[in-house]
Chain A
Amino acid sequence: MAKVFIYPTNSLILSDLVERFGHKPLAMMGKVREKITTVGIDSPPLNITPEDPKLGLKYAAVEVPAGVRGRMSLVGPLIDEAEAAIIVGDAEISFGCMGCARTNELTKYLARKKNIPIIELVYPKSEEEGREFVYSIAEFLKSLPMEEGSA
C-alpha cells in the first residue's frame, strides 16, 4: 500500500479511486478532520490558529501571505509523507478546489520536486476523455507497490 498524495487535495473522486486500488489517499479532508476534532483548539470553522501559518514557514518564506502559509501547514505535511502523487490540472471546482492559486502552484511544485512516482493529467472534457482519465489513473495505481512502506 502506497501513500498517494492527490491534487486537487480535496478531490473526493481521486481519494476514492486511490482507496479502491488499495492505497492510502493523502487528502485535505483527513487533515481538516484532524483539526476540527482536536480538543482544545478554538478558531472556527477550521480551527487554524495564528500558530499554523508559522508552521507553514517550513514550506514558504515569511513574506508569503499568511493564507498561503496556513494552507501549507495542512498540505505540506501530506507532501512530506507522500510515496506517490496524482496531479489533475484544470479541474472543475466541483472536482476539487483549493481556493488559492499561489498555494496551488507551490503545492504542485513541491510534489513534483519530490522524487516519487507522479502522474499528471488534464481534467477530461468528454466521456471518452473521462474513460481514458480513469484508466490512466488506475494503471498508475496498479503500478505502485502494495506492500506497506515499500514504495
Chain B
Amino acid sequence: MSQDDRVNIALLSCGSEYAGIQAELESAAEMVNARLVYPEIDVAILDTIEMDFGLQITSPDLKLMMARTKAVAEGTARVDGVFVASCFRCAEAAIVRNEVRRYIHKYSDVPVISYSFTERTTAGTLLTRMEALTTIVRRKHLLAREHQTGLTAGIDSGSTTTKAVIMRDDKIIGCGWVPTIRVIDSAEKAFEQALQESGVKRDEIQAFGTTGYGRFLIGDHFKAKLVQEEITVNSKGAVYLANKQKGSATVIDIGGMDNKAISVEDGIPGMFTMGGICAGASGRFLEMAAKRLGVDITELGDLAIKGMQKKVEMNSYCIVFGIQSLVNSLAKGSTPEDVAAAACHSVVEQIFEQQLQEVDVKEPVILVGGSSLIEGVPKALGELLKIDILVPLNSQFIGAVGAALLASGYVGE
C-alpha cells in the first residue's frame, strides 16, 4: 500500500493514552496503513457542547470527545473514519460513546466503530476492527460486488473451525469444514474436501480469498488475491446468501470466539460492533454446554427446541459463570432440554445486551455462523427481537462464501 492509500482515522477517546494502549492503537492503525488523527476544536466549544448534545456529563475528556465529534460531523475536521474508544466498565463513557456514534451516523456518512478497552487490549484485537473500518473507506467498489463470477475459492480460518468453499458463477460447487487445529493444515484439509466435492483441480482456481483469524497465514500459503477481515466478508456473504443485497439488513454472526453485529445498507457494511471481551456470547459457550449435557454440538439445537428456557436462570457474560449456572440447574433437577434452551437464550441475550444496542437493528435480521445451525439459537433470537430471523442456506460457510465472492473481483486481473 502506498502513502496515497493512507486513510485518516479520528481517534475519539477519553484517555486511551492513560490506559497504556496508545501504542497498540497506533500499531493497529499502522498495520492497515491508517493514521490516527485528533480533530482540532475551538476551546470555547467545550462550554456549549453539552447543550449541543443535550447530554450533561462530568468528565472534561468526554466533553472534548463530544466537541471532536461535532468537528467530524460538521466536516471541519476532514477524516475518513472514526474510532471511538473508552474504558471498559466506565458507565459515563459508555453513554457518551454510544451517543457519539449515533451523532456521527445522524449528521454525516463517516463510518464509525466503537470499542471499550482494558489495559490488556492488544493491536491484534484492534486490527480486525481497524481493518474493517479502513476497508469501508478504501474499497467501496469491491464491496459493491453482487455476483460471483469465474471459479474462485474462499477459505475462512476461524478460531474453532476452518471452512472452505469453491464457487463457479454464483453457485457453490464444493465445500469443506474441519476443526481448526494447525492453521495451514486445517485450511488444506477443508480445501481438499471442497476440491473433491466440486471435482475441480487446484490449479484451475482463478482466485483465492481468505478470512478469519488465520487469514494472513493462509492468505500467504494459498497466494490469495483477497485477504480480508471477517466483518466485511461475512456481511457480504450474508446478504449474498440471503439474497438481500438491496436495502437495509442486519447481520448477526455468532462465531466460536466472538460475535459481530453489522448493519448493512445495499450490501455495504455501515455500523458494526464486535464483541470479544467476555465469552458468554460465543459459540464456544454452546460447545461447552453441549459437552456438559453429554450431547454433540449438532444435537444441542434439537434438544433446545424441546425445552423451556424460562425454567432455568442463565444469563452470564462469562463462560465459566455460565457453565456454573448450567451445572447448578442440572443439580437442582432441571431437564437437559430446558438447560439447552436456556444456554441458547443466554448467548442470544448477551448479543442483544452487548452488541445490538450499538447498531440500528433493521429487518431482515440474518443470522449466520456455525451457531445459526443450532436451532435453539435463531428461535431464541426471534423470540427476543419479536421478528422472524433469516438463516440462509449454507450460513455456516458465510465467511468462505463471502471471500470467494469478493475474490472473484480479482478474476482476470
Set B17, B46, B88, B92: member contacting A48, Cβ < 8 A: B17
Residues of B contacting A49 in the complex (Cβ-Cβ under 8 angstroms) = 20, 23
B20 touches A65 (CB 8 A): no
Decide yes or no whether A39 CB sits under 8 A from chain B. no
A53 touches B19 (CB 8 A): yes
A100 touches B20 (CB 8 A): no
Decide yes or no whether A46 CB sits under 8 A from chain B. yes
Known A70-B18, A93-B43: A42·B61 in contact at CB below 8 Å: no
- In A41-87, the 8 Å CB interface with B consists of 42-46, 48-54, 63-71
The interface residues of chain B, by DSSP majority, are classed as loop
Decide yes or no whether B117 CB sits under 8 A from chain A. yes
Residues of B contacting A37 in the complex (Cβ-Cβ under 8 angstroms) = none
A50 touches B120 (CB 8 A): yes
- Assembled-state Cα–Cα distance A102/B93 (Å): 11
* Number of A positions contacting B (CB below 8 A): 29
Q: Total A-B residue pairs with C-beta atoms closer than 8 Å?
A: 95
Residues of B contacting A54 in the complex (Cβ-Cβ under 8 angstroms) = 119
- Assembled-state Cα–Cα distance A65/B22 (Å): 15
Decide yes or no whether B319 CB sits under 8 A from chain A. no
B59 touches A50 (CB 8 A): no
- Assembled-state Cα–Cα distance A64/B87 (Å): 9
- Assembled-state Cα–Cα distance A68/B60 (Å): 14
B20 touches A50 (CB 8 A): yes
* Known contacts A48-B19, A100-B15, then 18 further A-B pairs from the complex at CB < 8 Å, ordered by chain A residue: A43-B22, A43-B23, A45-B17, A45-B22, A49-B23, A53-B20, A65-B87, A66-B20, A66-B21, A66-B87, A66-B118, A67-B19, A68-B87, A70-B20, A100-B14, A100-B18, A101-B57, A101-B58
The 9 closest A-B pairs by CB, nearest first: A65-B87, A99-B61, A101-B58, A70-B18, A66-B19, A67-B15, A43-B23, A50-B20, A53-B119
* Number of B positions contacting A (CB below 8 A): 30
- Assembled-state Cα–Cα distance A150/B15 (Å): 37
Decide yes or no whether B90 CB sits under 8 A from chain A. yes
Residue of B nearest to A68 (CB): B87
Known A50-B119, A50-B120: A43·B20 in contact at CB below 8 Å: yes
- In B377-392, the 8 Å CB interface with A consists of none
A46 touches B17 (CB 8 A): yes
- Assembled-state Cα–Cα distance A108/B38 (Å): 29
A53 CB to nearest chain B CB (Å): 4
Decide yes or no whether B89 CB sits under 8 A from chain A. yes
Known A63-B89, A93-B43, A94-B43: A99·B22 in contact at CB below 8 Å: no
Q: Which of B16, B61, B64, B88 has the most CB of A within 10 A?
A: B61
Decide yes or no whether B360 CB sits under 8 A from chain A. no
B18 touches A93 (CB 8 A): no
